[in-house]
Chain A
Amino acid sequence: MLKEPTAPKTVAVQIRGLRKVYRSRARSVVGVDHVDLDVAAGELVVLLGPSGCGKTTLLRSVAGLETPDEGEISIDGRVVFSASRKRALPPEDRHLGMMFQSYALWPHMTVFQNVAYPLSSMDPSLRGDVRARVHDVCTRLGVAGFEERFPSELSGGQQQRVALARALIGKPSVILFDEPLSNVDAKVRRRLRQQLRDLKHETNFSGIYVTHDQEEAMELADTLAVMESGKIRQLASSREVYQRPNGLYVAGFVGEVNHWPAEVVEANETSALVRTGFGTFRVENPPEVLSPGRTGTLGVRPERVSLATPGADAASADPRVRGRVKEVVFLGARCEVRVDIDGGGELMAWLFEAVSHRSPPVVGAQIDAIFEATSLQWLGP
């Protein structure tokens, strides 16, 4: 639909059937399980998932720091790894940039030496004016003037920027990021994220970015890959993943979601009628074609639920359920209201206006929860 490619894009990274198993005498752990992934030139793909789901393993396989068991990886059209052809280029021949979680700045080199390192590994004809290039990239990242300091003489955020400068300076085909912002405090993190986005606009690098912070993932991703135990569960734009998750796991990972067990009563190509313990609702555009009798989960995001006094706005066609207010929590920008639904189940609603002008609901009061049109989602089994 929207994502129909208009022009043929060049592929920066292509991963096919990648599998990596860590074997030890006691047992073997599957790090990455048959993953396919494409990164187009100029695209930033964010790998999002819980701890231990294989994000780092996938990234390190692309970098050449880990040798997968099966599959193929190519970078800029060059096969850098192929299990069937027994080919594995070492990391230094893959022409990458990388930002490590622990920065991995070399403590015995100055900032200048750190940033210039990728250039000095290069063929002299490609190097250009090293001093000017280092100065340029340092200025762009706001760490100019620190060139003669050692990394231990910089703050965490400054070290991060030096690490980014080092990753950018060689104009690599792809930049890999392994949770680069997880060691700095929330404020610095937000600023660096913004800076990263600006840089992306300016230099249009391609990259793979690993994180387990869903806000960070949504902000940075051109394409978001949500992973679970070595597999990619959904691969789409942030918006699509958030609004049309293909399952409860993905929905829950990229945000909060109300969900109840449900059964399909009636279905056609574009919509389905599902029954829950407290009523029957219509779901538009389910992620798969459903058939009556299927059981699964019905979900709705809390910000798409509004509350009204019982019977008010009766003219609205939006589906509604009746309940009793259980708890009201003030959270600054929003108000979180928990409702016990008549007929069983609980529901959470985020009210944004309740904070400013309207008085919040009263605990114990009867209330109607209204689901915005098309907000109800089928979240699979």
Chain B
Amino acid sequence: MTATVAEPNEIAPPRYRAITFVVGAIVAAVLAVIFLPLATILQRALLPNGALDLSLWAATLSQPDLHYAIRNTLILAVVTTVIAVPVGVFFAWLVERTDARWGALSRLLPVIPLLLPPVAMTIGWLFLADPRAGFLAAPMQTAFRAMGLDIDPSALAVQSWGGLILLYVLFSVPHVYVVAAAAFSSLDPSLEEAARIFGKGRLKCFLSVSMPAIRHAIGSASLLCIISSFGLYSIPALLGTAARIDVLSVYIYRLLNAAYPPKIGQAVVLGVLLIVTIGLLWLAQRRIAASTGHAQIGGMGIRPNRIALGAWRWPARIMLLLYVALTSILPLLALFVVSLQQFWRPLVRLDQLSFENFFEFWSTAQSRAAIVNSSLLAVLTTTCVVLIAGVLAIVGKNVGGKWEKWLGVLTKTPSAIPHIVFAVGVLVTFGFAPFFLNGTWFIIFLCYVAVFLPQASIAAEAAVQQVGGQLVEASRIFGARPGRTFWTVQLPLILPGLAAGWALIFTLVVGELNAAAILAGPRNPVIGYLILSLFDNGTYSQLAALGSIIGVVSGITVFAALMFARPRFSSSGGGGGD
């Protein structure tokens, strides 16, 4: 036979059908879960009776209480940002650019608070700094007295502007840190070296060279900080109420749960306003973040020479440790102690500590149901949302270009919506006719899938990005179809990253309060709902027991997930794509 070119014997069959179908279904479902509630909210707010009607807006916006709540929200957001951003950036600089770090551990220190649900931290602080029964109140008062200051205990209350701001800042710093650390680690070190050579001091170097060099990251982190402050619910709900400092999220909750009949219309109007405000901030943040991203690509593989802090090294380290103590260790300790006491009291007597609270807690059907529901819900939601995010990230990477970009935007959309507003949207969309899901665990599931999708897809995209393109290409070259490539190469390699994301989201779901406040009730109790009702009833020992359980369960889960995820093969770089 001649060896010239011949027709292929068989024409390649269309083999991407099944995958296309599955992905299409996932995208459609995600679109529905995210955008149906949004559409419903908009429609309810703008066209309450089928026609454009602004009387609802007038009624909503004329409430003096609302003005007060808006003012408070703005003050908290701005003050928090002004404090948390410099602190977070400074910590990032210490860990990434100076010799204050020790080992890989110090990289994790500032993000430890991310692993403790904010609600557990808040309850812990309540026990620490309550003016009458807080563990810190009496020692602080004594200390001040020794200095000759006679201070009224209520001035040190955590239920105050000072306390709220402290907790908002403690909550926000790790978020700023993550963004700033990424920017610092890819920053060209010669900038700082040059500044040092020209004789600038360490602090001056930080202020005049390092900070400006990552100004995009700082801008992005500031907006993130404002956005997350707007949406925060657990801290103002547990501490602000007693101090009579209401914020928007709490105000919306009241409209639904403290008024009869619930003022759904007003809640929806406020939701729309918040979405628009935050949406605009979020777009600005993405724009800034995009310009940061470019800087990172160029900076790969830089091994920075760390700035020697000299005598300042240990003070810097102590500051980092103090921060971890304030956000995690002290609140957790307070939780443990109160949970072992019969009643919450500032004096700890060892002979009176017992596990009574836990037994009592477990013997209540409602509490048991809440724990079981929340655990199942957390496992189910987290697994689903991480799998969805993983599939979408892989598909995005494979198709590339415009599609990848739009998938990215789609999965990040919910981060522009405060949980509490989104929960309202889910409630009005799926709660009543025609779905009648109100009072079921499924409605909570739907809400969680949407609100945690952004975090999951950030983790998934990072994981997918790490798998070098050549590893996947090699699999195809050696005869594996896309399906087999996915199961044998892509999935095992991104699993560690997904597991880390899983752990993070699991802790968030377990301690979730906002959506639980709106969507859970006696018929479908979850931990968040239980926390609020224990708090309202003043059963603090039970609350502490619950807080401890959340803390311990989160800790163990995160640890287990990270152990499971730690790849055997990554002892050195070597084999993989870059």
Is A117 a contact of B478 with CB atoms below 8 Å?
yes
Is A102 a contact of B489 with CB atoms below 8 Å?
no
What does the 1/0 interface line of A85-123 toward B look like (CB < 8 Å)? 001011111111110111111111000000001100110
Is A92 a contact of B479 with CB atoms below 8 Å?
yes
Q: Inside 8 A of A8's CB, which chain B residues have their CB?
A: 2-3
Q: Inside 8 A of B488's CB, which chain A residues have their CB?
A: 106, 117
Is A104 a contact of B468 with CB atoms below 8 Å?
yes
Question: Which of A14, A89, A103 is packed against the most chain B CB atoms within 10 Å?
Answer: A103
A77 and chain B: residue at smallest CB distance: B6
CB of A272 to closest CB in B, whole Å: 39
Whole-angstrom distance between the alpha carbons of A176 and B568 in the complex? 30
B9 and chain A: residue at smallest CB distance: A78
CB of B22 to closest CB in A, whole Å: 19
B4 and chain A: residue at smallest CB distance: A77
What does the 1/0 interface line of B1-33 toward A look like (CB < 8 Å)? 011111111011000000000000000000000
A14 and chain B: residue at smallest CB distance: B5
Q: Is A153 an interface residue (CB 8 A)?
A: yes
Is A152 a contact of B573 with CB atoms below 8 Å?
yes
What does the 1/0 interface line of B324-344 toward A look like (CB < 8 Å)? 000000000000000000000
Q: A63, A77, A117, A150: which contacts B575 (Cβ < 8 A)?
A: A150
Question: Which of B571, B572, B577 is packed against the most chain A CB atoms within 10 Å?
Answer: B577
Whole-angstrom distance between the alpha carbons of A360 and B266 in the complex? 98
Seen from chain B, the residues whose Cβ lies within 8 Å of a Cβ on chain A are 2-9, 11-12, 468, 470-471, 473-481, 484, 488-489, 492-493, 567-578
Q: A79, A92, A102: which contacts B468 (Cβ < 8 A)?
A: A102
Please classify the interface of chain A as helix (H, G, I), strand (E, B), loop, or mixed, using the class held by over half of its residues: mixed
Whole-angstrom distance between the alpha carbons of A77 and B5 in the complex? 4
Q: Inside 8 A of A89's CB, which chain B residues have their CB?
A: 8, 12
Please classify the interface of chain B as helix (H, G, I), strand (E, B), loop, or mixed, using the class held by over half of its residues: loop
Is A93 a contact of B5 with CB atoms below 8 Å?
no
Whole-angstrom distance between the alpha carbons of A107 and B577 in the complex? 9
Is A79 a contact of B8 with CB atoms below 8 Å?
yes
Whole-angstrom distance between the alpha carbons of A105 and B577 in the complex? 8
Whole-angstrom distance between the alpha carbons of A68 and B54 in the complex? 58
Is B477 a contact of A98 with CB atoms below 8 Å?
yes
Q: Is A286 an interface residue (CB 8 A)?
A: no
Q: Inside 8 A of A141's CB, which chain B residues have their CB?
A: none
CB of B555 to closest CB in A, whole Å: 28
Q: Inside 8 A of B572's CB, which chain A residues have their CB?
A: 152
Please judge, given known A-B contacts A117-B475, A117-B478, whether A103 and B575 are in contact too, CB under 8 Å. Answer: yes
Please judge, given known A-B contacts A89-B8, A98-B474, A100-B470, whether A107 and B574 are in contact too, CB under 8 Å. Answer: yes
Please judge, given known A-B contacts A11-B3, A14-B5, A121-B484, whether A108 and B493 are in contact too, CB under 8 Å. Answer: yes
Q: Inside 8 A of A121's CB, which chain B residues have their CB?
A: 478-480, 484
Q: Is A19 an interface residue (CB 8 A)?
A: no
CB of B573 to closest CB in A, whole Å: 7
Q: Inside 8 A of A90's CB, which chain B residues have their CB?
A: 12, 476
Q: What 3 A-B pairs are tightest by C-beta distance, nearest first?
A: A121-B479, A151-B575, A118-B478
Q: A117, A150, A154: which contacts B480 (Cβ < 8 A)?
A: A117
Q: Inside 8 A of A107's CB, which chain B residues have their CB?
A: 471, 493, 567, 569-570, 574-576
Whole-angstrom distance between the alpha carbons of A154 and B569 in the complex? 11
Is B478 a contact of A152 with CB atoms below 8 Å?
no
Q: A10, A80, A95, A108: which contacts B479 (Cβ < 8 A)?
A: A95
CB of A72 to closest CB in B, whole Å: 8
Whole-angstrom distance between the alpha carbons of A343 and B488 in the complex? 70
Q: A79, A102, A108, A166: which contacts B5 (Cβ < 8 A)?
A: A79
Q: Is A74 an interface residue (CB 8 A)?
A: yes
Is B567 a contact of A108 with CB atoms below 8 Å?
yes
Q: Is A333 an interface residue (CB 8 A)?
A: no
Whole-angstrom distance between the alpha carbons of A261 and B6 in the complex? 49
Q: B9, B476, B569, B578: which contacts A150 (Cβ < 8 A)?
A: B569
Is B574 a contact of A152 with CB atoms below 8 Å?
yes
A91 and chain B: residue at smallest CB distance: B476
Q: Inside 8 A of A64's CB, which chain B residues have their CB?
A: 476
Is A151 a contact of B470 with CB atoms below 8 Å?
no
Q: Inside 8 A of A97's CB, which chain B residues have their CB?
A: 477-478
B489 and chain A: residue at smallest CB distance: A106
Q: Is A323 an interface residue (CB 8 A)?
A: no
Assuming A101-B470, A106-B575, A121-B479, what are 19 further A-B pairs, CB within 8 angstroms? A64-B476, A65-B476, A77-B4, A79-B6, A90-B476, A92-B481, A93-B12, A98-B474, A98-B477, A106-B475, A106-B576, A118-B478, A150-B568, A150-B569, A151-B575, A153-B571, A159-B575, A170-B479, A176-B477
Whole-angstrom distance between the alpha carbons of A170 and B478 in the complex? 8
Residues 212 to 262 of chain A near chain B (Cβ within 8 Å): none
Is A151 a contact of B574 with CB atoms below 8 Å?
yes
Is A80 a contact of B8 with CB atoms below 8 Å?
yes
> 11 A-B pairs, CB-CB below 8 angstroms?
A77-B6, A92-B481, A95-B479, A104-B468, A104-B474, A105-B576, A121-B479, A122-B479, A150-B569, A152-B572, A152-B573
Q: Inside 8 A of B475's CB, which chain A residues have their CB?
A: 106, 117
Is A104 a contact of B473 with CB atoms below 8 Å?
yes
A85 and chain B: residue at smallest CB distance: B7
Whole-angstrom distance between the alpha carbons of A153 and B477 in the complex? 24
CB of A61 to closest CB in B, whole Å: 13
Question: Which of B9, B493, B574 is packed against the most chain A CB atoms within 10 Å?
Answer: B574
CB of B472 to closest CB in A, whole Å: 9
Whole-angstrom distance between the alpha carbons of A176 and B478 in the complex? 12
Please judge, given known A-B contacts A10-B3, A78-B6, A106-B471, whether A92 and B477 are in contact too, CB under 8 Å. Answer: yes
Whole-angstrom distance between the alpha carbons of A154 and B493 in the complex? 19
Question: Which of A90, A102, A154 is packed against the most chain B CB atoms within 10 Å?
Answer: A102
Question: Which of A94, A98, A121 is packed against the most chain B CB atoms within 10 Å?
Answer: A121
Whole-angstrom distance between the alpha carbons of A121 and B329 in the complex? 52
Is A92 a contact of B476 with CB atoms below 8 Å?
yes
Q: Inside 8 A of A72's CB, which chain B residues have their CB?
A: 5
A155 and chain B: residue at smallest CB distance: B574
Q: B6, B470, B569, B571: which contacts A108 (Cβ < 8 A)?
A: B569
Please judge, given known A-B contacts A90-B12, A102-B470, A121-B478, whether A152 and B569 are in contact too, CB under 8 Å. Answer: yes
